Structure formats: structure tokens, C-alpha cells
Amino acid sequence: MNLAKKRIVVTGGAGFLGSHVVHQLRKLDCTDIFIPRSHEYDLRKEHDVHKMLQDFRPDILLHLAAVVGGIGANQKNPGKYFYDNLMMGTQLMEQSRLFGVEKFVAIGTICSYPKHAPVPFREEDIWNGYPEETNAPYGLAKKMMLVQSQAYREQYGFNSIYLLPVNLYGPGDNFDLETSHVIPAIIRKCVDAIRNNKKKIVLWGTGSVTREFIFVEDAAQAIIAATMNYDQSEPVNIGSGHEISIKNLAELIRQLSGFHGEIEWDETKPDGQPRRLLDVTKAKELFGFEAQTSLLAGLERTIAWYMAHPHVQGRIPT
């Protein structure tokens, strides 16, 4: 599919992942891009979604918007994270179908996988158990888009695809300690400790769990590749194919940031899912995607960005 002449809506297009996707689209000479803003359109509401689609009449809709956070934020907001994400996805896909949108790209989450899924996670295992409890409301809300996508393809012939990215990181990430994910949280704690002459930082859990991460620019390229070249009903994992323990990740960030103090682990706090690692074979086979940025290179760029933006709390535009 040639995207250059398409009218494209990117929900969440001003956010962390979305801003990188929009940048990639512009590199492909896409000029007709619309980013709905929350003060204009409440994407949880049918009326606002209808108005947004009526105002812009897109050929393609990329649904990247999400209400999301780390373990602590998920524990505090399970109802909000479930409702907001469920309603956005459901309303957007239904109204896109009614408006005759050519293609709908739904972005899911690795949090949808069962807590004890065999590692690496394969797409066919996504329904073989309940997600890890702290992320379950968010993960299940996002997984309902897969159900809707497959049902709509079967009944209406509606062309939608569903992608499952691992945790993202990179320049422009959310560094608010109340809502951030693990990489920006550790980076901020290390860099702020240096600035404030602190000798110790405290991190949640035991550090023994493992996680996979993908650099945000790589994830954006994967989404564009799938939008252009993938038109099937089965979900596809988007990741780097490499895992690291949180303890080793913290040590790596400590070294790269120049923090020489102690890392203390608060074992009264939850670890979350024991392991997260995706089988990324299908993305390479179906639309030729393979992550290019190593964790070391990506962390160096992310730490440098945060150091260059000393007053950042949450995400700011890159």
C-alpha cells in the first residue's frame, strides 16, 4: 500500500510512540495526517469519534492512543484503565467501519499475554490464560480490539490488523515517576540522584524478573511496515527478541548515567510478570520487520535526551 496519497488519522499522534509514527509517515511523503486532540475529541464517546471521522474522512486510522502507566499506576487506576481503553478501541473501530475506513491499525500490548505463557510468547498463546493481575484490566481492554478486529473481518470484511508491541523506551518518554515505565523511571532516579548528590536510589521489587524492550523508533517503523504490507486477521508481535533482568538493566543504566551510588531493592513492592519475551518471527516473515537498535545504543540516546531536558516531568515533544 502506498501511504503517500492516503488521508491518515493517528490517535495518540502527539504522544510518545505517536509522534515517532507521524515522523515516519512524513518521511514517506504523507502530508494528509490528522492528530485528534483530547480537548477537541473525547475518543471514549461515540459522538466525538463520529464527529472526528466526519471532520477528516480518513482512508487509514492508526489507533495508538492509550491510557497507560507502570505497575503503581495500574494498581491505582484499574477501573479507569479498563474503561477508557476499552471504550476508545470499541468506538473507534465501530465508527471506522461505518465510515468506510480502508484500514484500521490497532495497537495492543504485551500485557495482554497470560501470566504464565510459555517464553518466548507466541501469538497463538494469547488466549491460554489470564494476564498478570496488576496489568490485567489494561491488557484485557486492549485485547478486546483483537476480538473486535477478527469478528469485523469475518462479518463485514473490515480490514483491521492487531499488533502487540513490548515495552517502549526512547527520547521523549514519560519520566513522571507516578506513571512512567521501568526504563524512564530508573533513568530519572539515577540522573536525579547525581544532580542532588544522593548516594542511594530505591527500586521496586527484587529485580529478578526479565523484560524485553524495543526502541521507540524501531516500533514506529514496525507499525508503518505492517500498515503498508500486512492485511491478515492474526495478531503480530513487535519486539526486539532480547530480554534482560531488571537488576541487570538497572546496573546498565547506573553505569551509562554515571551514578556511582547504591541501588536498594524494595521487595515489599510487586515485581509483575516473571518473564516477558516475544517470539518476533512473524513480524519478519509477514512484513519484513526486524529491530535495528541495540538496548545499549537506545539507552545511551535516551539518557542523553533526559540529561538535556533537566526540567522534564512527563513527556514533552521531541
165 is known to lie in a ligand binding site: yes
Residue pair 248/309 in contact by the 8 Å Cβ criterion: no
Is 298 among the annotated ligand-binding positions?
Answer: no
Q: Are 238 and 214 in contact (CB under 8 A)?
A: yes
Residue 226 in marked binding region: no
Q: Which residue has the cell 509483575?
A: 272
**Is position 170 annotated in a ligand binding site?**
no
62 is in an annotated binding site: no
Q: Is 211 left (phi over 0), alpha (psi -120 to 50) or beta?
A: beta
CB neighbour list of residue 201: distance below 8 Å, 6 or more residues apart: 186, 189, 190, 193, 259, 261, 262, 263, 264
The one-letter amino acid at 313: Q
Give me the amino acid identity at 36. Answer: P
**Any known ligand binding at 185?**
no
Active-site positions read: 138
**Does the annotation place 12 within a ligand binding site?**
yes
Cell of 196: 542532588
Is 43 labeled as ligand-binding? no
Q: Residue 229 in contact with residue 166, Cβ under 8 Å?
A: no
Query: 181: annotated binding-site residue?
Result: yes
- The answer to the question of whether 17 is labelled as a binding residue is yes
As annotated, the binding site for substrate includes 189, 204, 211, 271
As annotated, the binding site includes 12-18, 142, 165-168, 181, 189, 204, 211, 271
As annotated, the binding site for NADP(+) includes 12-18, 142, 165-168, 181
